Structure 1
Amino acid sequence: MKIVLFYHSLASDWNHGNAHFLRGVCSELIRKGHEVKVYEPEKGWSLENLMNDHGPEKASEFQSYYPTLETNFYAPEKPDFSAMLSGADLVIVHEWNPHELVEAIGEKKKEYGYKLLFHDTHHRVVSDSDSMEKYNFSNYDGALVFGEVLRNIYLDKGWMSEVWTWHEASDAELFKPLPDVQKEGDLVWIGNWGDNERTDELMELLVKPIKELGLKAKFYGVRYPQIALNAMRDANIEYGGHLPNYKVPEVFARYHVTVHVPRRNYVKILPGIPTIRPFEALACGIPLISTQWQDKEHLFTPGQDYLVANNGEKVKEQLQKILQNKSLSGQLAENGRKTILNKHTCRHRVEELEAIVEQLGIAHELTIPLLINPLEA
């Protein structure tokens, strides 16, 4: 298949978690012999912030980790749809795109003859419902959404007649244990602080337990307000700033444990949706403590793949268990990695996508993987 994708950015993951899954899926599609074209707008918000923080050369660094990937830039004020859409079998448009682009690509569908899917990996359905209501999905064949609760909302609102739950997953080729890396500390947390979406939770479930246990810890991410930096300094937590996602395995390998603290909307309004971070942590074989999140879709096995803690005292208790019990720590790491490899890799998601497009009427022969891996040719 020729697959054309419109996303905010492939090149930058600065406060842009969608790039994580996108890179892994595109890599797998290419491995399986599909032609992939990713388009992102010139001067996109995430890429501009990345280059402001680290310099223009940072924009292409991801390609040293993903050598088969490249991005294509278009002028958002005047997209060349003929160049971008000609010959496409499947087009996927992500929900970070503006309403005008979503509608325009829908209108071009009849002219170019592709199948068209919308991809939703965010909580805007509940946090910014007015904006979501303004999208024109009339020419779309369906939507890919990253949780069953989101799928039900799409169907209840009548936005689409076909909606598939398409969970995020880990690129297991890159996200894997690195046992030869020396440990540097006890706990690492990788995440963006954001817009006060989980400030209270981060203070209670991370900062306070770290301080009370006297752990050697480090946080990575962007958009940390001064109140967060002050609290971290008080708890002797080191701040590492922006961490490119492709460097996450190297960082996880230096620490004994990590913690998943979901944003409030995924706890209270969209329960059951796991964001990309737990998939990546488990793939890397670092013991994980998950707070507040309910695995309503039975993607993992709580207590075996990770430990659960829903308040600060329980986090302290679980941290002590992992840090003091090498047998438990090793078992969690092994179980988590095994679950990812069995069910939640980007290869699994590509196979799910191939099955979906066959339902849409794309010929079976277009979805058959090549017998030769293009990376090995």
Structure 2
Amino acid sequence: MKIVYFTHSLASCWNHGNAHFLRGIASELVHRCHRVDVYEPRGAWSLANLLDDHGRNGLEPWRRAYPELSSRTHDRDFDIEAALADADLVLVHEWNEPGLVARVGRHRRDGGRYRLLFHDTHHRAVSDPDAMRAHDLSGYDGVLAFGATLAAVYRRWGWGDRVFVWHEAADTRRFQPPRIEGQREGVVFIGNWGDDERSAELETFLLGPAQDAGLDLDIYGVRYPQAALDTLARYGARYRGWMPNASVPDVFAQHMATVHVPRRYYAEALPGIPTIRVFEALACGIPLVSAPWDDTENLFRPGTDYLLARSREEAAAHLRRLAAEPESRHALAEAGLETIRSRHTCAHRVDELLAILDRLDGAPAARLGTDPLTDDIRPAVSGTEIPA
């Protein structure tokens, strides 16, 4: 098949959590000999911020990790006919300009011979519903929602059985436990501060517990204002700044445990959506302690795959136990890894995507497309325009 994906950015993971899943899905499709063309808008804020902070060297980690992938930038008046020529499946991520979303929909409605899906991996459907409903999806065949509670929102908006739950997952080609275990020390948190959506929760379930347990705490992420940095300093946490997503497994391998603190919208308005951080941690075999989160879809096994804390005291107790009991750390890591490998890899999600196409088409998805690739892995798009 020829698959076209319009994303916010493939090249940058700066404050762009969808990058992990997008790269993993694209890589899996390419390894299955599909053609994947990825387009991102010129001047995307994630890429612009990455280049401002780290220059072109900031792009090297993802290029080394994903040599088979690349993307093209586009302007508002780009040649959409050429981009969508011979496409079998087109996916448009929700963090695109409404004009692009509508333009692709019109192309499909005016005779485009492909399936067109809108891919939503954010909480804006509940936090900013007017902005999401402003998207013209009248030409789309369906919606991919990254959780059942988000899918329910689209069903209320009239999508019925044309909205499909498509959870994020781990790219287990890259996100794996270390082949050789080394010394692990302290706790690590990977995540952005972000708009005060979880400021109090970070103190209650991360900063306070690590301090109470007497454990070193390293924090990686962006968008930490000075007030946040002052808070980290008050608890003795070490702020490390931005880290390339491709480097996450190496950092996890150096630490004894990590903590998941969901944003308030996911904990309250969209329960059951874990975000990519849970998949990453369990895939890398690091013990995970989580702030309150209701796994309404039974994706994982609370207490077996990860430890759930309902208070600062309980989180600190979990961290003390993990620090003192290597066997507990090992059992937790092995259980979480088992669940990821059995249910939540990007390979599983590609299988699900093909099954969704089967449902839409009433014919095996493998029959779609007239542009098979050879078994050789090659860049998804030649001549990338992302700065070298």
Range class of TM-score, shorter chain: over 0.9
Q: Point out 4+ residue stretches in structure 1 off by more than 4 angstroms.
A: 370-373
Gaps of 5+ in 1: none
Task: Give the deviation of 1:329 after TM superposition.
Answer: 0.5
CA contact under 8 A between 1:187 and 1:257: conserved in structure 2? yes
Alignment of structure 1 residues 1-377 onto 2, 5 Å: 1-75=1-75, 77-109=76-108, 110-159=110-159, 161-180=161-180, 182-183=182-183, 185-361=185-361, 363-366=364-367, 374-375=376-377
Q: Whose RCO is larger (CA < 8 A, sep 6+)?
A: 2
CA contact under 8 A between 1:168 and 1:276: conserved in structure 2? yes
| C-alpha distance in 1 between matches for 2:88 and 2:368 | 10
| C-alpha distance in 1 between matches for 2:25 and 2:121 | 14
**Letter aligned with residue 253 of structure 2:** A
CA displacement 1:277-324 (0-9 Å, x = unmatched): 000100000000111111110011111111110111110011111111
Residue 56 of structure 1: SS of its match in structure 2? Answer: helix
Task: Give the deviation of 1:371 after TM superposition.
Answer: 11
Task: Give the deviation of 1:235 after TM superposition.
Answer: 2.0
Task: Give the deviation of 1:184 after TM superposition.
Answer: 5.4
Aligned-pair identity in percent equals 48
Across the aligned residues of Structure 1 and Structure 2, the Cα RMSD in angstroms comes to: 1.8
Task: Give the deviation of 1:181 after TM superposition.
Answer: 5.4
Task: Give the deviation of 1:194 after TM superposition.
Answer: 0.2
CA displacement 1:100-135 (0-9 Å, x = unmatched): 111110000133311100000000011001111111
CA contact under 8 A between 1:249 and 1:284: conserved in structure 2? yes
| C-alpha distance in 1 between matches for 2:276 and 2:368 | 26
**Letter aligned with residue 95 of structure 1:** E
CA contact under 8 A between 2:24 and 2:346: conserved in structure 1? yes
CA displacement 1:197-219 (0-9 Å, x = unmatched): 00000011111112222211100
| C-alpha distance in 2 between matches for 1:78 and 1:56 | 26
| C-alpha distance in 1 between matches for 2:57 and 2:160 | 41
Gaps of 5+ in 2: 379-388
CA contact under 8 A between 1:47 and 1:59: conserved in structure 2? no
Q: Are residues 306 and 184 of structure 1, via their aligned partners in 2, closer, same or farther at CA, if it must alter by over 3 Å?
A: closer
CA contact under 8 A between 1:354 and 1:367: conserved in structure 2? no
| C-alpha distance in 2 between matches for 1:214 and 1:267 | 27
| C-alpha distance in 2 between matches for 1:356 and 1:342 | 20
TM-score of the superposed pair, with normalisation by structure 2: 0.93
The residue aligned with 2:382 is: none
Say which is worse superposed, 206-215 or 253-262, in terms of deviation.
Answer: 206-215
Number of residue pairs aligned between Structure 1 and Structure 2: 374
Task: Give the deviation of 1:226 after TM superposition.
Answer: 1.6
TM-score of the superposed pair, with normalisation by structure 1: 0.95
CA displacement 1:31-85 (0-9 Å, x = unmatched): 111100000011110000000010023235412101110111111x312102211
| C-alpha distance in 2 between matches for 1:355 and 1:241 | 40
CA displacement 1:147-202 (0-9 Å, x = unmatched): 00111110112146501000000001100001535335310000000000000000
CA displacement 1:209-263 (0-9 Å, x = unmatched): 1222221110000001222211221222111100110000000000000010000
